[in-house]
Structure 1
Amino acid sequence: MGEFKVHRVRFFNYVPSGIRCMSYNSHTDQLAVARLDGSVEIFSFSSNCFQEKVIPGNEERSTESICWVNHNRLFTVGLNGEVVEYDLERLCPKYSTNAFGGPLWCVAPNSTGTHLAIGCEDGTVKVFQVIPEGIQFEKNLDRQKDRIICLSWHRSGTQIAAGSVDVIRIFDVTSGRAVQRIVVDRRIIKSYNTKQECLVWSLHFLTCHMIVSADSSGKVQFWDSKNGTLVQSQIVTNSDILALAVAESEDSMVIGTAEGTIFQFQLLPLKLGGKEAQWVMTKPFKYHTHDVRAVGHSKTALFSGGMDTHLAIRPLMEKVQSKSYDAAFRKISFPHRRFVSCAKKAKLLLFQFPDHLELWRLGSTDVTGKSGDVLPISKRQEHLLQLKRKGHDHICCSAVSPCGEWIAYATVSRLCLYRVEYEGDTVNVNKISKIPNIQQTAHHLLFSSDSKKLFIGSDQAAIHVVRLSTSACKYLHTLKPKSDIAEATCLLSSSTDGTWLAAANQSHKIDIYNLKEAKHHCTVPAYSCPPTSMAIHPVTNDLVIAYSDQQPLPDDKTPFYNQEALKQLSEKNRRKVAHAFKICKKFQPLLYADLLDNDSIVVVERPLMDIYAQLPPPVRQKKFGT
């Protein structure tokens, strides 16, 4: 392995959006996470917690609650008053329906997936019927005085529990009447000798007709729904408890607090071998610096997320069968997709933000040194351009050509192409007004190595090829796989000689196209995990693929040692574990890495402390002795 000059880039000011809510799908082992910017991410735990799908956000769409219906349909509600169902193949909203109840705070399906209950600002609980074409309004339950903050169906589908301000109400779904009213104790503010109103942030209706609630007074309480009486109460914290999730077996649950701590409760027998059991707080975890807005519970793990933008996954050691990588705690801080593009010939970087793009020129040095030296910069990096997107949809993909003269980006509703001209210290940008009318949404963009073609990866695994020239661009043809696939394209890679194009889609299939003949060449043998990255070797045209299970050699069990570990081995043992992969751990979290030329590499780092410094202050921070 030769030596490289490494451009360590830290001026990509990327800050992920906070997590607002989440919903776990036990049948597909997927977690849907909705963020504050309106985007939705789907993580697959069967694929090593890989972020399989991302639905871009929209400035006019805010999400307050999310749920799965019938294991394959995803719904959200938000403060704009609309119910949105998502197309999980095209990765965009399928349709939206106004509930006519003002801002919407919560949504919950019944156990059979035939109906949705939606909590509204005007105090109504609206019941919608789920039909194949969408949802259809069925009825309003008795209107209440205050907004409906949280909802939960009983497993029988005959009753709904609704949390509000100071009150939990139980509705009979058939009659629409409130059959029980439970008053929640307010918190006493000693300094003012007054009682503060209590917000029931989350609740769950257990099969045994017990309701568990979490509120702003820091209490977890268990109620008898038939008699409306308090069965058990536990003061957990002095701050709000914002989220609650119960395991499918109803013997464990997790709560999230405003001070960043999550707690696990378990249903344990009072006596060894006895039938009588009680809910007991067993495990506290401190994984977040800010308030935890969302929690989830699977058979083997707890999930949490909030304003600090991280998704924390805490395996339950007593439920994990093998003590392997699956038993390790994980904190997912960055998206599993590319936000950086590189113009290698021009040595430019394009940074993608939800509402704009930034074009930067890399710095340079005239000094040489030995391995490990930090070289002084002779010419600093330069911010050349900021390009704002049109409309309200967030940017879902972008690219810059190797020569640096073309920039393209796409949202779910449009594709934009720009010509960039450099004249001394000035940069001129001209939008190409006449571009091919492609009806499908672009999910991945790639320029050819000679900057003369643009490949547009869209839904249904189609690749549209556009020829670029100084005056205009022209549609050439569309490449399609032989099999009928409705999934969107997620990865593209072209060969340096312009002969081959590799395209991966959301169904984990990788197709190879011959660009000279403009036709499908072959399909890569299927693998059990989705591809996360791929590239075609510039000389041999070999296709190298990385998968989500982090095993570049599926049939080879050779362990990977980093350079420090190899130094500790003897010469004989070092040869036994030798491999072509070199592991370097000297960098901060990486958002991008690529070769610029034969002797230089560019890496884009994003230190976590830089993100923490830009977050708002915590709602409440626990101090010693309080």
Structure 2
Amino acid sequence: MDEFVIHNVRFYDYEPRAIQCMSYEEESYRLALSRSDGAIEIWNCQNRPFLQLVLPAESDASVEGLAWCDGRLFSVGLHGYLIEYDLSAVGVKARYAVTGGPTWCLALSPDKKSLAMGTEEGYVCLFDVGSDDVLYNKTLEKQEGRILSICWHNGGNHIVTGSINCVRLWSLMDGRVTRCSFVHNKREEIIVWCVAILDDMTIISGDSRGSVCFWNGTLGTQTDYVQSHKAGVLCLAVGSDQSFVIVAGVDPTIIRVSLAQTGGKKGRRARWIPTVKLRVHTHDVRALAFTNEGKLYSGGVDTILACSSYPPKVVIKTPTPLYPGYVSLGRQSDCVLLRYKERLELWRLGKPRVTGEPQEMFHAIEEDRQKLVELHCKEGESIDWCALSPEGFWIAYIVKGHLKILQFFPPTLDRQVSIRRVRALSKEIDTSRQVMWLGEEQLVSVTTKGTIQFITISDMEATVESTLTPRSPVQSLASSQDGKVLVVLDVNQGVTAYKLESGQEITLPKYSSPVVSLCVNPFTYDVLIAYSDSTIKEYSLRTKKYTNFSTNFLPSKRVHNGLSQLVSAVRYMSYDLNNGTLIFLHDDSSLLVLDSAAVTEYDDRYMPPNKITRGNNKSNKQNISGSKSPTRNSNIGRLIAFPRLHQVLFFSHIRDKNIISVEIDPVALHDQLPPMLKVKKYGGV
């Protein structure tokens, strides 16, 4: 294999964003979670979790509660609105004002026909969910104090809410309110951060004392009490069979509290007892989601999305990945464009002094990296996407859906860096949500209307050359190096390739797992697709069949090919621009190089053994003793992994024998987090 020089970009100023709340939809395996900056992430958890969609944060963003309803996503926040999102257009579909101002919590009824939310002024507002809209229903009687948590009973006729110093059970049939009060010191308030209710009307609450209380919902009396944590309990999740509840909070230990029979000869009674403890997070845990498959998703201040299950104890941590459109390469230049919330930075990579040293050695820097341009947007605005042209002379970015194009003039011996803005934009250019350069002065824009516009720049004027209307809304794009082939992934996981010169449209076969990454071979125009189950397939647009590599690169069920050992899904893929057989890909913790032309061998003894049927033991022994020695077979494709100590955000090939790896140090990221809960231990703190 050829030798490459890796440019380690570790100066990206990555800002951690805590997880605020989450909601899981069983039917689609999708997990929606909100970040502290107001952005909402849609994760697909069908196999290995991966980030499928990002809803950008707005200026007044505040997401305090999320709820799924038949594929529709709703949220509430301190802005005082119930918001429904259009996942196809990646934006807000409708807003509905909520009585009572800032809204702290949101819950969906079991029949998925109503939404209930609690407000700052003590109101519980009910909205009816229609087939295509949401209608206001009613507001329950105002109560004293803000409502911080809310939950529906499975019967659909009762709602339980948590406030300061009390828990309330609301009957929607007769309007009666049952109050469950705490016995506490009047000088200290007890804040009920989370509530749940079981089928037998047992109410469960977690409060600021670090305790979990169990109430008789019919009588309003406390039946049990567990001091589970050393600080406030912020979230809880009830098990599928309602025999246990999982709690966590400021004390990041995740504890399972189970219902068990206790007592002796005098009698036995059911008690709630802490049984299992998981130390997954380092800081406050703010959100939990338990699935019917027995998986627990958790997140909080440490920004990590964790998936755990018990028994057996399995914990998979997924760090925050880089959002699409945050890093853009000029793959025929030495420049990289980095996007932040309110600014863009264009960097020229350093040049190493190659002296023919052995492999895996650090090269001395002949010319250090250089920041060429730093662009800031106006106050109150944020950048939603950015793209750098292949040769690095054009910059495109999106602000509030509006496309902005800049021409970049690099520094020379007789002039400094300069930028000129393309102000003549055609009125036919629609608002955009993602852009990509097909070549110099040729741009592709995915509009909020669901179309794809091909934009040409000539004499500092941008015009729409043609428009493409896909069958389904676009999720992501990929193109060949020369811009002759465009591959589109839609929201229904369909992949379509367009030959732009001939106008031919080719629909690729669907696979059972969702797509995580796409790229196009620069020489043969074969489309390479990575799926969430670690399967990689290469499709030939010429023969309209899977390539020989795709059929002979053995799946993980037969022979270990390296991909099955990845903890996280593949994040990004790219071909070697000089060699169409080398593929560069990465996950969160390793760099991977796949040689699709290499022939490797394996022997049959690594294959799973065949089933031995019961019958004549003598014949079975003869078959085993008389079997031939393992035969050696060959398969196409060799995968080489390079583990990294830092989190890998982006990994791709650039021109010549250079590759770039954008990484962040987990320790440096941890230093930016707020202080964690300090617990005194024996011999230390």
Of 454, 457, 479, the residue aligned with 2:468 is 479
1:315-354, aligned counterparts within 5 Å? 315-317=309-311, 329-335=316-322, 337=324, 339-354=326-341
Task: Map Cα deviations across residues 226-281 of structure 1 (whole Å, 9 max, x no partner).
Answer: 11111110001220011111134322321112022211223344599x99644332
Q: Distance in 2 between the 1:471 and 1:349 partners?
A: 23
Q: Distance in 2 between the 1:24 and 1:3 partners?
A: 45
How many matched pairs? Answer: 599
User: Which residue number corresponds to residue 112 of structure 1?
Assistant: 111
Of 179, 182, 195, the residue aligned with 1:181 is 179
Change beyond 3 A, Cα 1:417–1:6? same
Quote how far apart the aligned CAs of 1:88 are. Answer: 2.0
Question: Is contact 1:155-1:207 (8 Å) kept?
Answer: yes
Q: Distance in 2 between the 1:586 and 1:116 partners?
A: 45
Of 520, 523, 533, the residue aligned with 1:536 is 520
> Which deviates more, 355-364 or 337-346?
337-346
Q: Do structure 1's residue 581 and structure 2's residue 565 form an aligned pair? A: no
SS at match of 1:612: helix
User: Which residue number corresponds to residue 140 of structure 1?
Assistant: 139
Of 235, 245, 260, the residue aligned with 1:253 is 245
SS at match of 1:611: helix
Return the TM-score normalized by structure 1. Answer: 0.89
Q: Distance in 1 between the 2:440 and 2:429 partners?
A: 24
Q: Distance in 2 between the 1:465 and 1:285 partners?
A: 52
User: Which residue number corresponds to residue 306 of structure 1?
Assistant: 300
Q: In percent, how many aligned pairs have the same letter?
A: 29
1:201-216, aligned counterparts within 5 Å? 201-216=193-208
Q: Distance in 1 between the 2:666 and 2:353 partners?
A: 31
Quote how far apart the aligned CAs of 1:185 are. Answer: 3.6
Change beyond 3 A, Cα 1:156–1:311? same
Task: Read off the aligned partner of 2:465 and give its amino acid letter.
Answer: L
Of 415, 436, 452, the residue aligned with 2:403 is 415
Change beyond 3 A, Cα 1:490–1:84? same
1:281-296, aligned counterparts within 5 Å? 281-296=274-289
Question: Is contact 1:57-1:393 (8 Å) kept?
Answer: no
1:443-458, aligned counterparts within 5 Å? 443-448=433-438, 450-458=439-447
Q: Distance in 2 between the 1:257 and 1:377 partners?
A: 47
Question: Is contact 1:592-1:604 (8 Å) kept?
Answer: yes
Task: Map Cα deviations across residues 550-608 of structure 1 (whole Å, 9 max, x no partner).
Answer: 122575234225999xxxxx998799577333222245221111112231111111121
Task: Read off the aligned partner of 2:94 and give its amino acid letter.
Answer: Y
User: Which residue number corresponds to residue 624 of structure 1?
Assistant: 681
Of 627, 635, 649, the residue aligned with 1:591 is 649
Q: Do structure 1's residue 525 and structure 2's residue 525 form an aligned pair? A: no
User: Which residue number corresponds to residue 357 of structure 1?
Assistant: 344
SS at match of 2:654: strand
Q: Distance in 1 between the 2:641 and 2:188 partners?
A: 56
Question: Is contact 1:467-1:476 (8 Å) kept?
Answer: yes
Quote how far apart the aligned CAs of 1:72 are. Answer: 1.6
Question: Is contact 2:322-2:650 (8 Å) kept?
Answer: no
Quote how far apart the aligned CAs of 1:438 are. Answer: 5.9
Change beyond 3 A, Cα 1:79–1:447? same
User: Which residue number corresponds to residue 75 of structure 2?
Assistant: 76
User: Which residue number corresponds to residue 512 of structure 1?
Assistant: 497
SS at match of 1:396: strand
Q: Distance in 2 between the 1:297 and 1:439 partners?
A: 44
Q: Distance in 2 between the 1:428 and 1:370 partners?
A: 40
1:52-201, aligned counterparts within 5 Å? 52-69=52-69, 71-178=70-177, 180-186=178-184, 195-201=187-193
Task: Map Cα deviations across residues 417-445 of structure 1 (whole Å, 9 max, x no partner).
Answer: 22222344733333323324467653432
Question: Is contact 1:315-1:329 (8 Å) kept?
Answer: no
SS at match of 2:107: strand
Q: Do structure 1's residue 228 and structure 2's residue 220 form an aligned pair? A: yes
Task: Read off the aligned partner of 2:194 and give its amino acid letter.
Answer: S
Task: Read off the aligned partner of 2:485 and give its amino acid letter.
Answer: W
User: Which residue number corresponds to residue 386 of structure 2?
Assistant: 398
Task: Read off the aligned partner of 1:546 and give its amino acid letter.
Answer: A
Q: Distance in 1 between the 2:76 and 2:370 partners?
A: 42
Task: Map Cα deviations across residues 306-349 of structure 1 (whole Å, 9 max, x no partner).
Answer: 1111111002336x9xxxxxx66333432464521111233111
Task: Map Cα deviations across residues 452-473 of structure 1 (whole Å, 9 max, x no partner).
Answer: 2101134576321001234211
What's the RMSD between the two structures over aligned residues?
2.8
SS at match of 2:417: strand
Question: Is contact 1:51-1:335 (8 Å) kept?
Answer: no
Change beyond 3 A, Cα 1:392–1:438? farther
Of 417, 421, 439, the residue aligned with 1:427 is 417
Q: Distance in 1 between the 2:236 and 2:427 partners?
A: 47
Change beyond 3 A, Cα 1:97–1:365? same
Task: Read off the aligned partner of 2:656 and give its amino acid letter.
Answer: N
Gaps of 5+ in 2: 538-549, 564-590, 593-599, 604-631
Task: Read off the aligned partner of 1:501 and give its amino acid letter.
Answer: L
Question: Is contact 1:141-1:177 (8 Å) kept?
Answer: no
User: Which residue number corresponds to residue 265 of structure 1?
Assistant: 257
1:602-621, aligned counterparts within 5 Å? 602-618=660-676, 620-621=677-678
SS at match of 1:196: coil
Of 366, 382, 385, the residue aligned with 2:373 is 385
User: Which residue number corresponds to residue 191 of structure 1?
Assistant: none
Q: Distance in 2 between the 1:237 and 1:216 partners?
A: 10
Q: Distance in 2 between the 1:290 and 1:507 partners?
A: 36
Q: Distance in 2 between the 1:328 and 1:578 partners?
A: 33
Gaps of 5+ in 1: 189-193, 321-326, 565-569
SS at match of 1:579: strand
Question: Is contact 2:280-2:315 (8 Å) kept?
Answer: no
